[in-house]
Structures are given as structure tokens and as C-alpha cells.
Amino acid sequence: MKRLILTRHAKSSWDDPLTPDHDRPLNDRGKAAAADLGQWLASRGHVPDEVLCSDALRTRKTFSGIAPALPGTPLLELKPALYHAGPDVMMAVLRHAMAETVMMIGHNPGIAEFAARLVAHPPANPEFARYPTGATLVVEFDVKDWGQVTFGSGVTVDFVVPSEIVA
């Protein structure tokens, strides 16, 4: 059994219009949401051993906000290919994962489509299709190796958006 924690980066700042997209930081709401997500993940036992993260600043800072709440230190791998990746690229990156529980942190619109294509049955949450900032899907696959994962084979375990987390 393999478990994927699929997270869209937390809310980023648009304060400086001259900042390149790749270098946009989190805003205050995003920082708080990332910390809340870390607490939520830890409280539910959704703890990654390996993190595949876009190399954009906002995805890295999302993980930096989540990490303090997690027991242990997962292996963090920055993956430039995940920056604005579509579902096929995301799947290709995932298929090279090594750990039992993997977290992937990326961007819309690709991550929303990837999530929708992964699961056999989407969560009932109306926010799932939109996959807003900080949205996190936990999905399991009955496979021995990440290379065996196919679209439509995932079983939804959990789904949350930061605004639903009660601190």
C-alpha cells in the first residue's frame, strides 16, 4: 500500500507586481494555513516520509510551514518539473518516489486535474473540484511500487482545505 498526500501551495502574496511568479512568497494567511495543515496532517497520522516539492518559493515555504508539526524529518526533494506541471508530468515524478508515504506539493491548474484523475471516487467536499490554495488530498493505492500507480486507481482517505481546519 502506498499513500500520497497531495497539497496545493498555501496562499501566496501578490504585494509586489514585479516579483517573478516563481519567486512569490506566502502571504500571512498562507503562512497560517501551512501551519494549520501541518497540525491537521500530524493529528490524523498523515505523515510523509518523502516530499516531492515544486522548486517555487511558495511551495517550499508551504512545506516549511507544515514541517514543524510533523514528527521526524521527511526527505525533501525539490522538483523543478513540478512547477506548473500538468497531470502527466506529476504522475511521471510520482512514479519515481521511493517512500511508503509521499507528499507532493504543486500548483493549479495541474494539481486539481491530477487529483481528479487519480481517485476512483472523489471526496464529497464541494471544494475538491476547485482545489483552492492549501487543498490537501490523502489518497491510497494498492500497489507495491509507485511505478504501478495509474489514473483512477486511488482510494480517497481524506481531503481538507485550510478554511475547514478548526485550530
Q: What is the mean pLDDT of the chain?
A: 96
Question: Which residues are paired to 140 by β-bridges?
Answer: 3, 155
**CA–CA distance, 77 with 135 (Å, rounded to integer):** 20
Domain ranges of the chain: 10-45+57-73, 74-97+145-151
163 pLDDT exceeds 80? Answer: yes
Average pLDDT over residues 132-147: 97
pLDDT tens digit sequence for 24-80: 999 999 999 999 999 999 999 999 999 999 999 999 999 999 999 999 889 999 999
Amino acid at 105: I
CB under 8 Å to 153, separation ≥6 — which residues? 118, 120, 141, 142, 143
Binning the chain into helix, strand and coil, the percentages to the nearest 5 are 35, 20, 45
Which are the contacts of 149, defined by CB distance < 8 A and separation ≥ 6? 2, 91, 94, 95, 118, 141, 143
Q: Tell me the average pLDDT across 122-141.
A: 97
Torsion, Cα of 28, 34, 37, 41 (10° steps): -160
pLDDT of residue 158: 97
pLDDT at residue 23 tops 90: yes
Entry pTM:
0.97
Distances (CA, A) of 49 to 79, 135, 155: 16, 20, 19
